[in-house]
Amino acid sequence: MQLLILRHGEAEPMEVDDAARQLTGRGRAQVAGICESRVEALSGVRAIWASPFVRARQTAEIVADKFGLEIKTEPLLIGDTSPQQVLDALQQVGDFPLLLVSHQPLVGSLINGLCGTGDRYPMGTSSLACLSAEVWADGCAELEWLQHATT
């Protein structure tokens, strides 16, 4: 099974409400660039789960529009959720490859926890990782690749 994990694109500075922050023009370009460079992997995605925060939803919409997918808003994908809660939810999923669109520290914790790598793999804005595993549990996945934004 494959799991793709995407951190949202660059967002505007926080003024009042973190959940309402939108992508910047650069952030949109970063996400579009990742989509272009990973067309093959993203074209196989069967479902997208996105954080309810605006910047994550906007990031997911860029991917969904390009590949004709629906987005499921998943409250578990806010940045400070326990990775174990996400892993528990993944046990109920039948449609893989699945794309998760979320925030730090969750995306980094998921990738490094699943791969058993401490904090080896950083996740900048618009970073996209592809993992494979037979079961979604700590230390049971292999990182196939990690793509960082170039713009």
SS3 3: strand
In terms of residue numbers, what domain contains 52? 2-11+20-147
| Cβ pair 47, 100 in contact under 8 A | no
Query: Residue 72 sits in a domain of what CATH number?
Result: 3.40.50.1240
Quote the number of domains for the chain.
1
Q: Are 55 and 23 in contact (CB under 8 A)?
A: yes
pLDDT tens for 47-87 read 999 999 999 999 999 999 999 999 999 999 997 899 999 99
User: CA dihedral defined by 68, 50, 30, 33, rounded to 10 degrees?
Assistant: -30
Share the mean pLDDT of the chain. 95
Using a cut of 0.85, tell me whether the model's pTM lies above it. Answer: yes
pLDDT per residue as tens digits for the range 108-119: 999 999 999 989
- Upper half-sphere CA count for residue 13 (Cβ side, 13 Å): 1
